[in-house]
Structure 1
Amino acid sequence: MLLIHCPYCGETLPETEFAYAGEAHIARPENPSEQTDAEWVEYLFMRSNVKGVHFERWRHIHGCGRFFNAARHTVTDKFLTTYKAGEPRPDIEALTGIKAGVKEGEK
């Protein structure tokens, strides 16, 4: 079972308390009706699928209900850090020596 830390509540709880909400730090269109079909397809379906550190959005659904961001290693499922929505992406390479979004063994 994964344990996830909510940066708002300050609690570390099982993943059943949370809901995955997609990739973090992507531009979300303000008015989808103004998007071309190609732009809308790009926004909806084209995501990075990295092997390594990945930045994600999560929501504490059975707690405060707030969205936050997390850096999770996709191979080990280990959460490296969580941080409040709107805060800048942390420098994971400085914390772990691993580049975000890079395959294992590559630097």
Structure 2
Amino acid sequence: MLLIPCPHCGPRDQTEFSYCGDATVARPAAPEDADDATWIEYLYMRDNNKGLHEELWQHVHGCRQLVRVRRDVRNHEIKAEGPS
């Protein structure tokens, strides 16, 4: 179980949050002009690296704000957090 530090509410249990994905993925700048390969890259292709990973979590059972979390995926230790 993770203890996620919400910048608005303080440390809260992971069960109060909903995982919203990788915080480093950027949507195509001109979606109407993007080809299939660009959409496949955006939607499905992710690196599975060991180490620090930036994630977005929504505090759904609290302030409902998005929180940007930097988490070490090897041991789930949270290194940094902040508003999104």
Describe the superposition over 1:26-68 as per-residue Cα deviations: whole angstroms up to 9, x where unpaired.
2123654432111100000112211111111111111111112
- Is the contact between residue 9 and residue 63 of structure 2 (CA under 8 Å) also seen in structure 1? no
In structure 1, distance between residues paired with 2:54 and 2:73: 10
Tell me which amino acid in the other structure corresponds to 2:80.
T
Q: Gaps spanning 5+ residues in structure 1: where?
A: 86-107
Residue correspondences, number: 84
- Is the contact between residue 28 and residue 38 of structure 2 (CA under 8 Å) also seen in structure 1? no
Indicate the RMSD between aligned Cα atoms, in angstroms.
1.4
Moved segments of 4+, more than 6 Å: none
* Equivalence for 1:61: 60
Q: TM-score, normalised by structure 2?
A: 0.88
- CA shift, 1:10, in A, is 3.5
* Equivalence for 1:42: 41
The reply on whether 1:6 has 2:10 as its aligned counterpart is no
The reply on whether 1:21 has 2:40 as its aligned counterpart is no
Describe the superposition over 1:45-100 as per-residue Cα deviations: whole angstroms up to 9, x where unpaired.
11221111111111111111111211000010111111111xxxxxxxxxxxxxxx
Which structure: greater strand fraction? 2
In structure 2, distance between residues paired with 1:33 and 1:41: 14
Q: Gaps spanning 5+ residues in structure 2: where?
A: none
Identity over aligned residues, as a percent?
Answer: 42
SS of the aligned residue for 1:40 comes to helix
